[in-house]
Amino acid sequence: MALVDLFKFRSTEQKIQFSSLHHKVEKYFPSSNEREVIIATCIAGLCARVAYVDLDISREEIETLKDILSKWTRLSEESIECIGNMAVEEMKELSGLENHLYATPLNDVLDKREKLEVLVALFALSAADGVVSNLESEEIRLIAKSLCISDQHFIAARATVAKSLGALK
């Protein structure tokens, strides 16, 4: 067997890795289907990452995170509250170490239009406190790349909060 064949064999057996948040939510909500758990945890994780990129999460950002989750899932208000709190705590503990584990699974379950809607939601979250900081915008740019979203679509999503962009204030 050639060395190249070893790499081919390993790549075909790779499984999607999930974040520790995913595992916690899956354990807490065992009756939820896998797609719903993926969407809830990945979107909550990305939202928490954007909100916490400046090492501070405002009350408005937390409320917007929960609103976003309610739009993307059919979970109860209590469940959304729980997942939102878990995501924020997870982000504070890990300081973004698992970012790729939030974007990669979404590539498998969302189409291009839905991923663009995620970016628009992330910008709405970052504008919740009145200003989209450069740090938040750059974090969303990295997320866009992880979601395989073009720069053109990133710019279109950012335009939805043009009045709140920190660079323009």
**Domain regions of the chain by residue span:** 19-168
Give the three-state DSSP class for 165. Answer: strand
| Residue 24 · residue 86 · CB < 8 Å | yes
Domain 19-168 is of which CATH architecture? Orthogonal Bundle (1.10)
Whether the per-residue pLDDT at 97 is higher than 50: the answer is: yes
| Residue 50 · residue 142 · CB < 8 Å | no
Structural tokens at position 158? 């950012």
Whether the per-residue pLDDT at 70 is higher than 90: the answer is: yes
pTM of the entire predicted model: 0.83
The per-residue pLDDT for range 110-166, each reduced to its tens digit, is: 999 999 999 999 999 999 988 999 999 999 999 999 999 999 999 999 999 988 886
Distance CA 39, CA 73 (A): 8
Q: What's the average model confidence in pLDDT over 77-105?
A: 82
Structural tokens at position 104? 């990669």
Residues 6+ apart with CB under 8 A from 69: 40, 43, 44, 47, 75, 80, 83, 84
Largest CA distance in the chain: 61
The per-residue pLDDT for range 35-47, each reduced to its tens digit, is: 888 999 999 999 9
pLDDT above 90: percentage of residues in the chain: 50
